[in-house]
Chains A and B, each alone.
Chain A
């Protein structure tokens, strides 16, 4: 547009700003704010504006010549061999290049990669999308290479492609994957393929240990590092302040869900029960294991409110102000049976939506503490993100709902059928919004899968 622009960036985000600048091919003029503005006093903040920001803003807006774009790095061609050596040498090389996740990788030899590519009819050079923040092509080949590295089996390839198609959907907002809350994507595999690939949906389903669950989850984290560039130090792109490790992929006990008369999670996402589907959503916090007892639904539902709802309360303001928050509850099969005797899944959602509340003043305080944000309920009602109930009175102690929309609460039936435990998975507002994609199988899927087992 030809309009000079300067961006204000905190010191800790300078490397990420440089990475984003390179990824979109436009140089930024930057005014650096030293330190963290959220913990500076008002006087210190004003001093830093005077001493540090003002000179940089004036310099950025008055420079005589426009800054040239940074040259694009010369890199290897896709499909090229970049290294040859022993297993140890390969591991060291990949670690040194920041192409690994800190664990040993399976060397992505051409033979191994080709084995993956046989499980798709798509051309190896086909591109699903160009992904932020390094502006790299999400090619079928890159999916296969990273799938090999993560320890996947070749027959997982159709699932791997669907995962990347889901995160490439603009609805998912992959561009926010490096944000400071450090959310992790969670993969949920629905349909017959979950059993065909031996995904665990029973006891310990979210532990590392079952190859399909574990390697699918690892693959996605590795893809975010290698193709998107979200790397923790000594990389630059991931600004997660503390973070936690990747989620293994989840699957549902679909037969149990059907037996108790509930639609499966895949059906809730708009698909038929025989459809194979991948859903990906962010998870930024997991509730405590939530035990509940009794043959009546209410005891279980109130326990969800008291344990899972309270865990989620702190972050609820972020969902309300963004108009999007996909909470997920994994209900133990035996508990689901007790609830289903009286309630539909929609009844469960409605109960949680109605009963999970906190004082309005507390929600506003949480918002202020996090980013200096004034949570304006009136404005959110005017914008249509929340209902008028939130401003029914001016009493700061009035109870306000933490879930804006009951339909955004996902329910998966899984876990140990012999125990009475459930668990909540909290999303990071609209970042990593719940997104599904159908899995495309090759025409001779069953024969190929059987052959792969031998």
Chain B
């Protein structure tokens, strides 16, 4: 049995359509990520949290484990930065680079994407 397309083609040729690309140019400036540090002993790690999905429990465990691995490691807790996905998100993000410099931050842990 002939399919619909074949039946239509027998009767008359179908019109052809040349169509434009429906997306748009990406406008992205790429940059690489920073290299890590070999040892976090005595270094400062900053925590960024969106105050959801049980990050309070996760960060407590992470702090404990990293402290056991790296003597002298310091943490600047998420409360110092505020909710990075709350009503002050834009202000927090806009001032984040300066704040991390000011706090002499060596590394950042950010979450929770879920």
Chain A contacts to B: CB under 8 angstroms: 1-10, 12-13, 16-17, 22-29, 31, 33, 36-38, 42, 45-46, 49-50, 53-54, 57-58, 60-70, 72-73, 75-88, 90, 94, 99, 107-110, 113, 127, 130, 134-139, 141-142, 145-146, 149, 170, 226-227, 321-324, 371-373, 383, 385, 430
Contact = CB atoms under 8 A, between A and B. Distances in A.
Interface of B: 5, 14-40, 45, 51-55, 57-58, 61-62, 65-66, 69, 86-87, 90, 97, 100-101, 105-114
A8 B33 CA distance: 16
Contacts of A67: 32-33
A43 to B, nearest CB: 11
A110 B35 CA distance: 48
A338 to B, nearest CB: 37
Among A3, A54, A78, A139, which residue has the most Cβ atoms of chain B within 10 A? A3
A357 to B, nearest CB: 22
B30 A109 contact: no
B17 A87 contact: yes
Given A8-B110, A72-B30, A321-B86, A84 B36 contact: no
Contact of A1 (B27, B53, B100): B100
8 contacts: A4-B35, A5-B109, A8-B110, A37-B53, A94-B19, A109-B17, A141-B24, A372-B52
A108 B21 CA distance: 8
Nearest to B110: A7
Contacts of A170: 90
A137 B19 CA distance: 19
Contact of B28 (A28, A72, A127): A72
A146 B22 CA distance: 6
A38 B52 CA distance: 9
Given A4-B108, A371-B52, A108 B22 contact: yes
A64 B24 contact: no
B112 to A, nearest CB: 5
Among B55, B97, B107, which residue has the most Cβ atoms of chain A within 10 A? B107
Contacts of A82: 19-21
A58 B108 CA distance: 11
Contact of B105 (A3, A33, A84, A94): A3
A10 B114 contact: yes
B23 A227 contact: yes
Among A33, A61, A81, A139, which residue has the most Cβ atoms of chain B within 10 A? A61
A81 B20 contact: yes
Contact of A137 (B27, B39, B65): B27
A49 B54 contact: no
Contacts of A81: 18-21
Contacts of A141: 24
Contacts of A72: 26, 28, 30
A227 B36 contact: no
Given A1-B34, A8-B109, A78-B25, A49 B20 contact: no
A42 B57 contact: yes
Contacts of A135: 26-28
